[in-house]
């Protein structure tokens, strides 16, 4: 993430840069150890994760500066679990 950002590339983190590895790590684990993931599964996973992230954003906070690092990581874990 940091290298791409430094090179001027586009970076999309979910939910934040501090917790951006959790969601793709859960999906990668599922793909490697549970069952192979297809394009439809990716879409469904990210939509479900995004809905949970939106609920947090509207009703609480996703910011580590506001709720601390544990809150930030907790949001990411919730998003990954929903997917």
Asked if residue 26 has pLDDT above 90, the reply is: yes
How far apart, in whole angstroms, are the C-alpha atoms of residue 22 and residue 26?
A: 6
How far apart, in whole angstroms, are the C-alpha atoms of residue 57 and residue 80?
A: 15
Q: What is the pLDDT of residues 39-61, one digit of tens each?
A: 999 999 999 999 999 999 899 88
Q: Predicted confidence band at 79 (pLDDT cuts at 50, 70, 90)? A: very high
Q: Predicted confidence band at 4 (pLDDT cuts at 50, 70, 90)? A: confident
Give the pLDDT score at 83.
86
How far apart, in whole angstroms, are the C-alpha atoms of residue 4 and residue 68?
A: 25
How far apart, in whole angstroms, are the C-alpha atoms of residue 60 and residue 68?
A: 12
């Amino acid at each position: 993430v940091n290298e791409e950002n430094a090179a001027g590339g586009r970076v999309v983190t979910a939910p934040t840069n501090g917790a951006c590895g959790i969601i793709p790590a859960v999906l990668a684990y599922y793909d490697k150890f549970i069952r192979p993931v297809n394009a439809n599964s990716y879409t469904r996973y990210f939509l479900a994760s995004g809905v949970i992230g939106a609920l947090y954003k509207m009703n609480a906070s996703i910011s580590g500066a506001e709720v601390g690092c544990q809150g930030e990581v907790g949001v990411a874990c919730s998003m990954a679990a929903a997917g």
